[in-house]
């Protein structure tokens, strides 16, 4: 039956989790967008959407495109999830709503703004350090150094063991793809990492007054117990580090390769925040997420049966010429609002204001001190089934004459 209803769909043999695709995703993104509003990916027996209109619509129709069957390739109704599912990311209403209300209460824009001063102190010190060095690795010593300090500080995680955060995030985001070599490599020797993360989610290990402790405080208001609060803390620790690190690393890469755009940010550091928005559109740290159909649904003349996995290409939507003017141009003065780099709808990133604050503060501090950024060697990608970011980015910076 299903063969006849779906026969009109364009079919692609692309493997979005192959090294080849991940190394340079933009040409295959175009191919998928141009193939049609919805495309069958033969290799995995799944569907893909890569145009802005359909991606945005699917994200905003959680009744048809659910998350509780997993937002990766694995179908939780058929396969055992590799970790207990997230109460946020991998949940549908009404359960999702309770968890979401708990966390939005904790991460309100007001609360996030209150973190600015502490973030600014760290950013200032870090910028002075790299400017003194002149040449440095903008991933290790900058894009990673900042969030792995200020974020666990804000959540209230003790200092010891923080190196586990990056390893954990890398594995979690790989696990949304197939169990390929990239995933296996990142999952090696991870038992201790997972144990550390689980421990850090317990109330007794979280500093009073931090975001983690606040989750425990807010949870009962939404009928959530301590076990659920622990899982919500885990959400922050999984989703809040690698994403931001890659966002900041991609930002420095964009600036180093578009000197005129950095000049514009340097000339007016208050542009840092909007410039970061353009980075998230142009080099989206989170490239894809899956949904699962709850019923047979027609998309532009193609019927997707019930229970099918649909891969949403956020990054491809963010460069869809049907939606954006000159999408392949990195332009810090563009109005990038409307991109889906933070998702959209009920699962839209709850950490987005925190991510923006980190970027605003760090890129702003760099813009005030540094006139030009140039590549000082070949950048190296960090391949991940879901994320796009760099493993290393050697740069040289030129301080502005004081």
Residue from 339, 369, 382, 388 in contact with other proteins (CB under 8 A): 339
**353 lies in the binding site for ligand HEM (CB under 6 A):** no
Nearer to ligand HEM, 9 or 334 (CB): 334
Both tokens assigned to 32: 């998928």
Residue 153: alpha-carbon gap to chain centroid: 20
Residue from 354, 370, 395, 397 in contact with ligand HEM (CB under 6 A): 354
Both tokens assigned to 374: 């140039």
Residue from 247, 327, 379, 394 in contact with ligand HEM (CB under 6 A): 247
Nearer to ligand HEM, 239 or 397 (CB): 239
Binding region for other proteins (CB under 8 A) out of 13-21, 88-96, 104-112, 154-162: 104-112
How far apart, in whole angstroms, are the C-alpha atoms of residue 230 and residue 13?
41
Mode of pairing for the β-strands spanning 39-41 and 11-12: parallel
**110 lies in the binding site for other proteins (CB under 8 A):** yes
Give the residue among 46, 142, 38, 35 at the shortest CA–CA distance from 358.
142
**98 lies in the binding site for other proteins (CB under 8 A):** no
DSSP three-state, residue 277 = helix
**289 lies in the binding site for ligand HEM (CB under 6 A):** yes
**25 lies in the binding site for ligand HEM (CB under 6 A):** no
- Contact string 312-351 vs ligand HEM (x = CB under 6 A): --x--------------------------xxx---x-xxx
Nearer to other proteins, 83 or 222 (CB): 222
**108 lies in the binding site for other proteins (CB under 8 A):** yes
How many helices (H) and strands (E) in the chain? 18, 13
DSSP three-state, residue 255 = helix
How far apart, in whole angstroms, are the C-alpha atoms of residue 34 and residue 79?
33
Give the residue among 332, 166, 144, 343 at the shortest CA–CA distance from 238.
166
Nearer to ligand HEM, 271 or 356 (CB): 356
Residue 355: alpha-carbon gap to chain centroid: 10
Nearer to other proteins, 183 or 282 (CB): 282
Residue from 90, 122, 214, 277 in contact with other proteins (CB under 8 A): 277
For the bound state, the minimum distance from the C-beta of residue 187 to ligand HEM, rounded and expressed in Å, comes to 21
**267 lies in the binding site for other proteins (CB under 8 A):** no
For the bound state, the minimum distance from the C-beta of residue 193 to other proteins, rounded and expressed in Å, comes to 30
Q: Which does 105 bind (CB under 5 to 8 A by kind): other proteins, ligand HEM, none?
A: other proteins
The beta-strand segments (E) located in 138-268 are none
How far apart, in whole angstroms, are the C-alpha atoms of residue 237 and residue 225?
19
How far apart, in whole angstroms, are the C-alpha atoms of residue 338 and residue 335?
8
**240 lies in the binding site for ligand HEM (CB under 6 A):** yes
Preceding peptide of 94 cis, ω within 30°: yes
The DSSP letter of residue 73 is S
Residue from 4, 23, 337, 401 in contact with other proteins (CB under 8 A): 337
Q: Which does 37 bind (CB under 5 to 8 A by kind): ligand HEM, other proteins, none?
A: none
How far apart, in whole angstroms, are the C-alpha atoms of residue 30 and residue 319?
9
Task: Count Cβ neighbours within 10 Å for each residue of 27-44 and write b for 16 or more, e otherwise.
Answer: ebbbebbebbbbbbbeeb
Contact footprint for other proteins (CB under 8 A): 101, 104-105, 108-111, 113, 277, 335, 337-339, 342, 344-345, 348-350, 352-353, 356
Contact footprint for ligand HEM (CB under 6 A): 59, 67, 71, 88-89, 100, 235-236, 239-240, 243-244, 247, 280, 285-286, 289, 314, 341-343, 347, 349-351, 354-355
């Amino acid at each position: 039956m299903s063969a006849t209803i779906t026969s009109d769909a364009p079919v692609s043999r692309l493997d979005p989790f192959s090294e080849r695709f991940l190394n340079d995703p933009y040409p295959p993104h175009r191919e998928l967008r141009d193939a049609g509003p919805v495309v069958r990916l033969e290799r995995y027996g799944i569907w893909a959407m890569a145009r802005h209109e359909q991606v945005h619509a699917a994200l905003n129709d959680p009744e048809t495109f659910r998350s509780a069957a997993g937002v990766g390739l694995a179908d939780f109704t058929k396969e055992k999830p590799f970790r207990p599912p997230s109460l946020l990311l991998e949940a549908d209403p009404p359960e999702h709503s309770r968890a979401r209300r708990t966390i939005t209460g904790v991460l309100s824009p007001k609360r996030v703004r209150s973190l600015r001063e502490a973030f600014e102190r760290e950013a200032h010190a870090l910028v002075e350090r790299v400017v003194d060095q002149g040449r440095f690795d903008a991933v290790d010593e900058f894009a990673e150094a900042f969030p792995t300090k200020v974020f666990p500080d804000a959540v209230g995680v003790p200092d010891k063991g923080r190196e586990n955060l990056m390893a954990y995030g890398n594995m979690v985001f790989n696990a949304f793809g197939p169990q390929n070599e990239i995933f296996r490599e990142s999952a090696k020797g991870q038992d201790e990492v997972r144990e550390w993360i689980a421990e850090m989610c317990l109330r007794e290990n979280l500093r009073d007054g931090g975001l983690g402790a606040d989750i425990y405080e807010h949870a009962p208001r939404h009928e959530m117990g301590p076990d659920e609060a622990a899982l919500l803390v885990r959400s922050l620790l999984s989703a809040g580090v690698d994403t931001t690190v890659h966002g900041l690393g991609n930002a420095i890469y964009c600036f180093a390769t578009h000197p005129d755009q950095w000049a514009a940010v340097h000339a007016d550091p208050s542009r840092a925040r909007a410039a970061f928005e353009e980075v998230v559109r142009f080099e989206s740290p989170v490239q894809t997420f899956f949904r699962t159909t709850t019923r047979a649904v027609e998309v532009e003349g193609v019927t997707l049966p019930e229970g099918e996995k649909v891969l949403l290409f956020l990054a491809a939507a963010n460069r869809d010429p049907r939606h954006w003017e000159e999408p392949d141009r990195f332009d810090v003065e563009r109005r990038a609002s409307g991109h889906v780099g933070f998702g959209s709808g009920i699962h839209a990133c709850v950490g987005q204001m925190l991510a923006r604050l980190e970027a605003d503060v760090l890129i702003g501090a760099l813009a005030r001190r540094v006139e030009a950024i140039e590549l000082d060697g070949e950048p190296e990608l960090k391949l991940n089934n879901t994320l796009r970011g760099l493993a290393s980015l050697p740069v040289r910076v030129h301080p502005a004459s004081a």
